[in-house]
Amino acid sequence: GENVEQHPSTLSVQEGDSAVIKCTYSDSASNYFPWYKQELGKGPQLIIDIRSNVGEKKDQRIAVTLNKTAKHFSLHITETQPEDSAVYFCALHTGTASKLTFGTGTRLQVTL
Amino acid sequence: DAGVIQSPRHEVTEMGQEVTLRCKPISGHDYLFWYRQTMMRGLELLIYFNNNVPIDDSGMPEDRFSAKMPNASFSTLKIQPSEPRDSAVYFCASSGTAKSNTGELFFGEGSRLTVL
């Protein structure tokens, strides 16, 4: 089945700095790569996604890049703010299957 | 829309007791998923339904776990008998409509289960 590795598991950055989280996968048939943010006591929420026919997508301070050859995709958060502190999960979706497989999560802490 | 609604938010029970978690998906969504979240194993897919039919239950840990979706607006996840290792946060999520499925999952706020 699908396998996705996520790094780092924890990340601490100062407010205003950038944060990068990376995920690698093994199934070349994977075609949809979303990122979810989970705040304390809540369920994960989609923040950005990318499909396999696109290399990069940006939405204000967040961006996702995809390298299909190397089988990795990354989340980039620029100008980090305290409200960016949360757990971030990458996920992937393969073929016609409707289920998502999630990475192990990255706990991001933005310090003042 | 009210979003995905789960109940109870918190449940504390003793080993051996039956636990029933409930979920109301977003109206019109065709897919419903049950995930379990623990520190050790992260977010694991237990089972998912399409149009009320179970499609993939390969993630259900063992026969003590069962899930049903009697209609489009309600699903249950039952654990009988419960064990301490079942302690986790259980999330329900829904996605997709008949006309458009972007793949986005909409999660409820979870049911935190503690089995003593």
User: pLDDT (tens digit, 9 = 90+) per residue, B63-114?
Assistant: 999 999 999 999 999 999 999 999 999 999 999 865 666 788 999 999 999 9
For A2, residues 6+ apart whose C-beta sits below 8 A from its C-beta are A25, A26, A27, A30, A92, A94, A101
Mean pLDDT over B1-22 rounds to 95
Verify whether the Cβ–Cβ distance B91 to A44 is below 8 Å.
yes
Tokens coding B107: 């999660």
Distance (Å, whole) CA A70 – CA B96: 30
How confident is the model over A15-23, as a mean pLDDT?
98
pLDDT at B108 (0 to 100): 97
Share the mean pLDDT of chain A.
Answer: 92
Strands B10-13 and B111-115: parallel
Whether the pLDDT of residue A96 is over 80: the answer is no
- In which band, very low, low, confident or very high, does the pLDDT at B1 lie, cut at 50, 70 and 90? low
Instruction: Give the pLDDT of residue A95.
Output: 64
* pLDDT value for A28: 85
CA dist., res. B43 & res. B37, Å (int): 4
Could you tell me the pLDDT band of residue A29, with boundaries at 50, 70 and 90? Answer: confident
Beta bridge partners of A77: A19, A62
pLDDT at B98: 54
**B-chain residue closest to A1, CA distance:** B58
Q: Considering only the beta carbons, identify the residue of B42, B45, B108 that sits closest to A99.
A: B45
pLDDT digits (tens, 9 = 90+) for B27-36: 999 999 999 9
Predicted local confidence at residue B13, as pLDDT: 97
Distance CA A108, CA B80 (A): 36
Report yes or no: A66 and A52 within 8 Å, Cβ to Cβ.
Answer: yes
Chain A residues near residue B42 by CB distance under 8 angstroms = 89, 102-105
Q: Average pLDDT for residues A17-35, to the nearest whole number?
A: 93
SS3 A82: helix
- Kindly provide the b/e burial profile for residues A61-85, where b requires at least 16 CB atoms within 10 angstroms of the residue's own CB: ebbbbbeeeebbbbbbbeebeeebb
- Calculate mean pLDDT across residues B4-16: 97
The answer to whether residue B25 neighbours chain A at the CB level (below 8 Å) is: no
B1 close to A (CB below 8 A): no
Mean per-residue pLDDT for B16-31? 96
Q: Which of A25, A39, A41, A40 is nearest to A100 (CA)?
A: A25
The residue of chain B nearest to residue A48, with distances taken between CA atoms, is B104
Q: Convert the pLDDT of each residue in A38-71 to its tens digit.
A: 999 999 999 999 987 779 999 999 999 999 999 9
